Amino acid sequence: MKNVIEKYIRKEMFPHIWCPGCGNGIVLGALIRAIDSLGWEKDEVAMVSGIGCSSRITGYVDFNTMNTTHGRALPFATGIKMSNPKLKVIAVMGDGDCAAIGGNHFIHAARRNIDITAVIINNMIYGMTGGQYSPMTPTGKFGSTAPYGNIDQNFDLSALAASAGASYVARSSIYNPNQGTRFIKKALSKKGFSVVEIISDCPISYGRMNKLRTPVKMMEWIKSISVPKKTWEKLSVEEKKDKIPMGEFLDICIPEYTDKYKEVCAIAQEGGGNE
């Protein structure tokens, strides 16, 4: 397994900047294994990230990579995919990155159903800037900007993606990396906008403020809140509280954006349209 990882990383960029016990490495491992299992050439993969701890992933992998501005991974990725549809385009985002500052881009990338795979590392906190609460911080939990408890409702990112027009939506966690790898592989193979949300930890920021100071405690907590989708569906509203469903939520085949654009070109070149 070690050899698989080494084939895809930029060794000179290591050691990485992530804290001990951070889940980003587990997600990176899952991503690499999924890509490797598909047999893709490194040259045909473009990986784009925004800003935050998660965004450093693009620096560590030997693909065509881009570490862009906060929240904007998807529109940069959209420009790449639209211009060169042959590239396999992956956007890696954190939860603040994707759901707060990049929320609009997220729903519109889904609406277009453009063939990009979005991997969201959801650690429910802004880690890099010191533990401020994010749109994914559960109500009642603490952050450095929520010292009396978070009063915001948190998003259900997977439900959001599914309702906005994506083709494939799944959620897993760093507690279950094999499932995560499987979902990412399916997402990468999907023609259309695909989303895999991975629940992750942040012992230093989230854990410290929410009585989960060690990586082990955070892992145990993630395990305790994770419920398979089928089980979750049978739970009462009260039982669903504080739990997160895991599994595949959407897997459909609908027309993809760059394919539809080819049709636009054909119509324009045949002299059609409203001209």
* β-strands 168-173, 244-251 pairing: antiparallel
At 37, is the secondary structure helix, strand, or coil?
helix
CA distance 64 to 43: 7
Location of structure tokens 């603490």:
142
Q: How far is the CB of 103 from other proteins (least distance, A)?
A: 10
Q: How far is the CB of 260 from other proteins (least distance, A)?
A: 11
Give me the residues that bind other proteins (CB under 8 A), please. Answer: 10, 12-13, 42-44, 46, 48, 58-59, 62-69, 72, 74-84, 86-87, 104-105, 108, 261, 264-265, 267-269, 273, 275
Nearer to other proteins, 116 or 219 (CB): 116
Q: Which residue blocks in 192-253 are alpha helix, DSSP H?
A: 208-209, 215-225, 229-234, 237-240
What single letter denotes the amino acid at residue 175? Answer: Y
Nearer to other proteins, 79 or 228 (CB): 79
Nearer to other proteins, 72 or 141 (CB): 72
Nearer to other proteins, 5 or 82 (CB): 82
Backbone conformation region of residue 39, classed left if phi is above 0, alpha if psi is from -120 to 50, else beta: left
Q: How far is the CB of 68 from other proteins (least distance, A)?
A: 6
Q: How far is the CB of 41 from other proteins (least distance, A)?
A: 9
Nearer to other proteins, 10 or 241 (CB): 10
Q: How far is the CB of 13 from other proteins (least distance, A)?
A: 6
Q: How far is the CB of 85 from other proteins (least distance, A)?
A: 10
**Would you say 201 and 23 are in contact if contact means Cβ atoms under 8 Å apart?**
yes
CA distance 134 to 241: 19
Angstrom distances, CA of residue 170 to CA of 118, 119, 196, 236, 248: 11, 10, 5, 22, 4
**Would you say 174 and 160 are in contact if contact means Cβ atoms under 8 Å apart?**
no
Nearer to other proteins, 56 or 171 (CB): 56
